[in-house]
Structure 1
Amino acid sequence: MLMKIRRPASFPRSLRPLPLAVAGALAGLGAVHAETTLPAVAVSASRDVAGLGLDQPNNTGSRTGLSTRETPASVEAIDSHNIRERGDYRVMDAITRSTGLTGIGASGNGGLSFSARGFSGPNSVGVAEDGVRLSTGAGTQTHPSDSWGYERIEVLRGPASVVFGSGTVGATINAVRKAPSRNASAEALFGIGTDGSAQAGLGGTGGFGEIGSFRVDTYGHLSHGERDLGQASGGKLMSTVRLQPSSNLRIELIADYSQQRPERYWGTPLNNGRIDSSLRRENYNVEDSTIAYEDKRLRGRVEWNATNWLTLRNELYYFEANRHWKNLEQYSLNPSPRTVDRSDYLEIKHNMEQTGNRLEAALRNEQHRAVFGWEVAKVNFRNTNNFAFTGSTTVNANNPAHGSFLGGDLTFPKFDTETTLNAFYAEDAWQLAERWLLLAGFRYDTADVSRRSLVSSSGLDKRLNGNAWRLGLTHNLTATTSLYAQASAGHDPIDSIVTLNVANRDFSLTKGRQVEAGVKQSLGNGLGEWTAAVFRIDKDDILSRDPASPSRWIQGGSQYSQGVELSAAIAPRKNWRFEGNYTILQARYDVLYDSDGSSRAGNRPTDVPEQVANLWGHYRFGPFQASLGGRYVGKRYADNANTVALPGYVVADAALAWKVDNRTTLRLFGRNLTDKVYATTSYGSQQFVLGQARRFDLVAELKF
């Protein structure tokens, strides 16, 4: 008998973050009006000037305070204005509009996984908030998931180990929070959309007392989803208190909480190696499946301008991540008689705590902007699972009876790890002459990992260490044009450091080396800005099978990528604005052997497209703005043999904005207008995660 899903008449537990988030925000915003009188609203013109923010400070490319134009590296910022007008309320959506980055997020990696410059996954593309990274455990990242509350999201492409440590050879993504201000203001967002979706965001800032200011941002969302078991919800609260006892001393206290319940979807099985569009809205998970993430974050910052040439900073933090998966994850389609075999009844829990401190000294004079720092962190991780899982079932391919999770295998704690991370770094931006700047940096990382089995006497104690360096030169050819070149080196782990297993205990960090050159230019009369970069990255010591004994893993593989990246934002005529980027690259294995002894040299790494393009056009007429966007992602592969291909795709989006008055803007968004059926990533070589179907959202933005 087929089971039918009933829509709940009231908010179920999984959907409660939305009203809770709204209630929390109203309480926080009440403080704005209780403590501070709102100023009069200033009338200002709409933003007509196009640009890439080349002259804005960027702390992702360097900790020396250089602007994007000065930094001898490929750095990009997606600001809150762009995020709002494109409707990119998920961090994943905002990032995949940037140059060359594609999303490969899935239920198993927390949804925050990317491919950049030929390298993929959380162990090669790092994610940070305000320059601080939560360690990756078992290849999973879950924070930050929503873009509300962030001023901008910055991307540094290529090895970023000098600034962010191991696991950043491909790129690093850094979400920059909105800062407190003593000038009171508030903003709100309310939206509804296709598939029973709704969202609400509230944020406010203001002053209190003689030296204090605060900022509170809260956001919640929910959706019934486009397929069975598609319900999703989430909510978060971000809060910052700033105290400034004097002009040279600033103290900040930060407390955040978020929870997510993503769609319980693990992909769609292939039909003879191809996507079967008739299965687009099917879900083969079990009825009582679970995916849940909870993140807690506490931070304290102190910045003291000791003299006019010395600034001391210290940041102490505590992060906690709790994750739970209980799902049926693997599906195989039998084309005739149209059934699906299901296996891997898998339950996993992650409990991770990270406590750390970063102490930094910044020195500045007429020629030098230098920083010296020490970072230390301790990470405790517990893995609970049912890894002796058994059982399989068969259901109809269309309208499957979901059934329940088979509980024959016990779920209990399997292992603990304790990891101590230390890093020492130094950077110097040396103004050699009026038009020449030399940026040099070095970092030394160590990780002491101790793993203990909770079911046997096995374990390991391992020290990993790596050196990273960068040497870059920027030349201001004119006041509006800069040229740069750099060489850099970094390192990635072969697997997540804090969950290093016994089988990998003898392996070291992989080594990445990059050379890059580029140009950054502002065009005259506010026409716009554009950048171009060429690069090559070589990575050694990746895992490969031993060609003499294919059952044995060795650290003898290598790969490379090389390519060209272009980005531009221009306003060619009044009321017209265009933004776009294009990446073309070649990524290949130099040395790699598979389990059957076959060489994969010359093949492309998995999840890597060789062409990616984004384009947005905006036209403003009176109080309205019409926007049309397109995204192209080229063909990728799901296996090292390059026999299973994810087809390339083009997705078209659109937006219409109406500025009702200086406080209110209404926006209508259309996603995937042609209702394209496409895959964003694979889950195994015979199961693809399909992209979002056509949808529409109506959003109201309010300012107070």
Structure 2
Amino acid sequence: MIRHDTPSLMLLWSLLALSQAASAAPDTELTPIEVTASPIPSVAPLEGQDYSASRVDADGLAVFGGPAQANPYRALDLMPSVNLTGVDAYGLSVDQNAMRVRGIAASTYSNLAVTVNGTPSSVSAGRGGVGNLFDMENLESVTLWRGAQPADVGLGMGNLAGSLDLAIKGPTEEAGARLRTSVGGDGFHKLFGRIDTGTFNGGSSLFVSGSTSESDKWRGEGGQSRDTFNAGFAQTFGERGSLEIYAAHNRFHRDEYRPLTYAQSRDLDRYADLDYNADLTGVATTDADYYAYNSQHFDETNLLARFSWALTDDIQIRFSPYWLSNEGERRVGKTDKVMVIDIDQEQYGATAELVAELADQTLTLGYWTQRLSSMPPPMSQKVYAIDKQGGLVFSKWGILADMGDRAYESPYLQLSGERGRWRYGIGLRYLSFRIPGITSYDGSGLPNMSHDSALSMNPAVVAALSTDAVTLDEWLPTLSSRFELTPALDLKGAYGRSVGNPWMGPLYSVYMKNRKAFQKAGIPLQQLWDDLALETSDTIELGLEWRHGSLVLTPTLYYSDLSDKQVTAYDPAVGVSYLQSGVDAKAYGAELEASWGLDRHWTLIGSLSWNRNRLDDDIRAGSAAVLETSGNQVPDAPEWLAKLGAEFRYGNWNLTPIARYVGRRYGDALNQESVDDYATVDLNAVYRLGKVAGMQSLEIGMSVVNLFDADYISTIDVGQDDARPESIDYYPGAPRTLALSLSANF
């Protein structure tokens, strides 16, 4: 049963009442749409940026974001070197939607910096929270930087794979309202509504919105639901100052999809519909695979603000505080038991910037500070046995711990300017990252209670599983340059260093399970904590931008030198394999981003990518075994990616077919578990009417995902890049799925 509370329904019913009142007008006026020039492509390189960065505008989000308009990552699919996979057609299964950029896993917990209006937010701590907090109907654009990045972006737990910024569509100057409803296969439905007050009191404006969405899983029992409330307030202070405040509350429930083994993934005719069990049997080893025992639900709240003040005509200060909280639980069935992980996470911080215009140069001086309390490792993990009726019976505390805040301090500066035909940028950021100490407790004999209640009973501290804090730091220089060779051809280049956050959860778990072996070898947990290191990548890029009429080609070559990658390696002193830093890797390749407005009706958007990402070293896998990984492609990283979208506009019609090719991948670091290449086609169509029955506009949309019903493996869940054969989870892609939508603006 899907848990489906709807805190925003009162708002939605109010919006529906508003729409019915507006529809009382008897006259219907159809306004034809005429386009007289080649339209601007909805996915394109970021204007004025010399790094490898691409932006999707609001029109592109409406198309490429999918029928649910809930997962902004889906809109990145046409960008070069972005391999986005997912287990459902709507993108509601948040953390089972994997993404790699230039072959690097793009997890917000370690390698992808996600910001909202430039403020860090939406950190996903492993397999629990955070969902996507803002409806895509409320976004103006999304921007992704790949590889080298300027110093004033990439503020997050790591930016090794890149940086993603979501720009919110702020309150409008004119009053209005929007309603959007959509329905589709597998019981999908979504209702979204937004009201804008317009400007009032001489400089204030406000919007509120709410949505509710739900779908069944396309295979197996269960489903996903999501209820979201968004609001934004803007205030101007004369001509010098402005304030924006945004709030989001999100509630989601998700029943997980069951992964396939490699052998099962090779026979999709037989196993494509395999999933968790729909019913309880009373047999513990079977009921661990019951669908409701493999699920999660979370409540999340986010507040962020941006204050700007012009000290002079050339100097401006900006201050952007933010706060994020999420609370929920994740259930994981394992063997004959169920693990229940309680997660309570809080994130807060601020950025402060001074921006000065100096002749033909712009100088940005900034400081970012953040505190984050989150797993992994989990602070509360309980073990439940399964009784003969299939019910859960509390067995013991698996983990009872307490941990301080992860602390980030990062000053930065960015200088950019122009000299004739030459444009340049130089930046430097210093990052200090404090990994907090962990205090573990003996939960033996404690009853089933909350984490805080358990700690209030003063359980004994387990010193062997406790550590002190460790601080890691890194300098992150960046440099970019662009030179206009001819009016139609620019040469550009960039260099930058980025970082990835080390994983601590698996390290803690292995030590906990093998504590005696580590202690016998004289290795305390603190030593493993001290050996943690930030993974770094030094990237060099060289590219061109060629313009011929409405045809724009942007080819890029890149090379990245990665250091201190974490891999699971065997330690002969302990006789155990565990995560260790120190392995090097190389990533290099070529990208082509293109757009072409053939005429006033047709625009082509596409990209072609060749990516090589390989480990430089073999890995010791056992006392007499070596994992021969040197020179191999890392798991789940296709060498070839090709995407093409065609936007056709004629009168009131907009038709967008999207074709995507993903080359062969490997599930394991030995490159033994090969996954076939595949191609899919999606189709989107919109019919736009002008003023209808008092409405400003009305749109009817249709979306078909996987138009030709291709069978393929979409997501490969490898964990680390050193994944061993027979340890990888495979997920089939969703079948052909049809959805219809109706949007009205007032």
Give the TM-score normalised by the residue count of structure 1: 0.85
**Aligned residue type for 1:279:** Y
Relative distance call for 1:419 and 1:411 in structure 2 (3 A) is same
Please tell me whether residue 24 in structure 1 is matched to residue 19 in structure 2.
no
Please tell me whether residue 532 in structure 1 is matched to residue 555 in structure 2.
yes
**Does the Cα contact within 8 Å between 2:259 and 2:729 map onto a contact in 1?**
yes
Please tell me whether residue 286 in structure 1 is matched to residue 277 in structure 2.
no
- Alignment match, 1:671: 705
Question: 1:569 offset after TM fit, Å?
Answer: 2.0
- Alignment match, 2:473: 465
1:620-631 aligned within 5 A: 620-631=649-660
Please tell me whether residue 450 in structure 1 is matched to residue 436 in structure 2.
yes
Q: 2:300 aligns with which of 288, 295, 298?
A: 295
Spell out, residue by residue over 1:292-318, the C-alpha distance to the aligned partner (whole angstroms, 9 max, x if none): 132211123210011011100111111
**Aligned residue type for 2:716:** S
**Aligned residue type for 1:84:** A
Measure the CA separation in 2 of the matches of 1:115 and 1:76: 15
- Alignment match, 1:693: 735
- Alignment match, 2:242: 250
Please tell me whether residue 508 in structure 1 is matched to residue 521 in structure 2.
no
Q: 1:153 aligns with which of 107, 128, 142?
A: 142
Secondary structure of the structure 1 residue equivalent to 2:292: coil
Secondary structure of the structure 1 residue equivalent to 2:668: coil
Relative distance call for 1:359 and 1:28 in structure 2 (3 A) is farther
- Alignment match, 1:652: 681
**Does the Cα contact within 8 Å between 1:51 and 1:528 map onto a contact in 2?**
no
Relative distance call for 1:576 and 1:42 in structure 2 (3 A) is closer
Q: 1:70 aligns with which of 45, 48, 52?
A: 48
**Aligned residue type for 1:438:** Y
Question: 1:387 offset after TM fit, Å?
Answer: 6.7
- Alignment match, 1:262: 254
Spell out, residue by residue over 1:460-516, the C-alpha distance to the aligned partner (whole angstroms, 9 max, x if none): 211011110111101133455432101111221222699988434322212210000
- Alignment match, 1:5: none
Aligned residues: 653
- Give identity over the alignment, percent: 17
Question: 1:694 offset after TM fit, Å?
Answer: 1.1
**Aligned residue type for 1:625:** N
- Alignment match, 1:83: 61
Measure the CA separation in 1 of the matches of 2:468 and 2:555: 46
- Alignment match, 2:189: 198
Spell out, residue by residue over 1:203-224, the C-alpha distance to the aligned partner (whole angstroms, 9 max, x if none): 2322221220112232221112
Q: Which runs of 5+ in 2 are unaligned?
A: 22-28, 277-288, 442-461, 510-524, 692-696, 719-726
Secondary structure of the structure 1 residue equivalent to 2:470: strand
- Alignment match, 1:518: 543
Measure the CA separation in 2 of the matches of 1:126 and 1:239: 23
**Does the Cα contact within 8 Å between 2:43 and 2:55 map onto a contact in 1?**
no
Relative distance call for 1:548 and 1:570 in structure 2 (3 A) is same
Question: 1:119 offset after TM fit, Å?
Answer: 0.9
Spell out, residue by residue over 1:573-625, the C-alpha distance to the aligned partner (whole angstroms, 9 max, x if none): 34222211111111111124142333310111122111112111233344323
Measure the CA separation in 1 of the matches of 2:18 and 2:744: 18
1:289-688 aligned within 5 A: 289=293, 290-328=295-333, 345-381=338-374, 383-386=378-381, 407-410=394-397, 413-431=400-418, 433-455=419-441, 456-457=462-463, 458-495=466-503, 502=525, 503-524=528-549, 527-544=550-567, 545=569, 551=576, 554-596=580-622, 597-662=626-691, 663-683=697-717, 685-688=727-730
Secondary structure of the structure 2 residue equivalent to 1:195: coil
**Does the Cα contact within 8 Å between 2:704 and 2:739 map onto a contact in 1?**
yes
Please tell me whether residue 702 in structure 1 is matched to residue 744 in structure 2.
yes
Measure the CA separation in 1 of the matches of 2:660 and 2:43: 23
**Does the Cα contact within 8 Å between 2:30 and 2:690 map onto a contact in 1?**
no
Measure the CA separation in 2 of the matches of 1:500 and 1:517: 41
Secondary structure of the structure 2 residue equivalent to 1:271: helix
Q: Which runs of 5+ in 1 are unaligned?
A: 1-11, 35-39, 56-66, 330-341, 394-401
- Alignment match, 1:186: 177
**Aligned residue type for 1:681:** T
Relative distance call for 1:264 and 1:471 in structure 2 (3 A) is same
Q: 1:95 aligns with which of 76, 85, 88?
A: 76
**Aligned residue type for 1:281:** D
Relative distance call for 1:132 and 1:674 in structure 2 (3 A) is same
Secondary structure of the structure 1 residue equivalent to 2:553: strand
**Does the Cα contact within 8 Å between 1:591 and 1:600 map onto a contact in 2?**
yes
Relative distance call for 1:617 and 1:121 in structure 2 (3 A) is closer
**Aligned residue type for 1:72:** D
Secondary structure of the structure 1 residue equivalent to 2:59: helix
Give the TM-score normalised by the residue count of structure 2: 0.80
**Aligned residue type for 1:666:** I
Relative distance call for 1:262 and 1:451 in structure 2 (3 A) is same
**Aligned residue type for 1:156:** W
- Alignment match, 2:515: none
**Does the Cα contact within 8 Å between 2:118 and 2:165 map onto a contact in 1?**
yes
Spell out, residue by residue over 1:120-157, the C-alpha distance to the aligned partner (whole angstroms, 9 max, x if none): 14122332222222345347663426523111111101
After TM superposition, the structure 1 stretch with the greater mean CA deviation from structure 2, 315-324 or 476-485, is 476-485
Relative distance call for 1:585 and 1:388 in structure 2 (3 A) is same
Measure the CA separation in 2 of the matches of 1:676 and 1:609: 18
- Alignment match, 1:397: none
Relative distance call for 1:644 and 1:703 in structure 2 (3 A) is same
**Aligned residue type for 1:245:** F
**Does the Cα contact within 8 Å between 1:537 and 1:562 map onto a contact in 2?**
yes
Relative distance call for 1:264 and 1:139 in structure 2 (3 A) is closer
Relative distance call for 1:491 and 1:687 in structure 2 (3 A) is closer
Secondary structure of the structure 2 residue equivalent to 1:641: coil
- Alignment match, 1:120: 105
Measure the CA separation in 2 of the matches of 1:656 and 1:567: 24
Question: 1:110 offset after TM fit, Å?
Answer: 2.5
Question: 1:201 offset after TM fit, Å?
Answer: 1.6
Relative distance call for 1:353 and 1:203 in structure 2 (3 A) is same
- Alignment match, 1:239: 231
Relative distance call for 1:21 and 1:691 in structure 2 (3 A) is farther
Spell out, residue by residue over 1:647-704, the C-alpha distance to the aligned partner (whole angstroms, 9 max, x if none): 2211111122222335111111111122222222234534312211111001112121
Spell out, residue by residue over 1:393-414, the C-alpha distance to the aligned partner (whole angstroms, 9 max, x if none): 9xxxxxxxx9555754446643
RMSD, aligned CA:
3.3
Measure the CA separation in 2 of the matches of 1:619 and 1:52: 11
After TM superposition, the structure 1 stretch with the greater mean CA deviation from structure 2, 360-369 or 472-481, is 472-481
Question: 1:518 offset after TM fit, Å?
Answer: 1.4
Relative distance call for 1:371 and 1:660 in structure 2 (3 A) is same
Measure the CA separation in 1 of the matches of 2:618 and 2:55: 35
Measure the CA separation in 1 of the matches of 2:217 and 2:264: 27
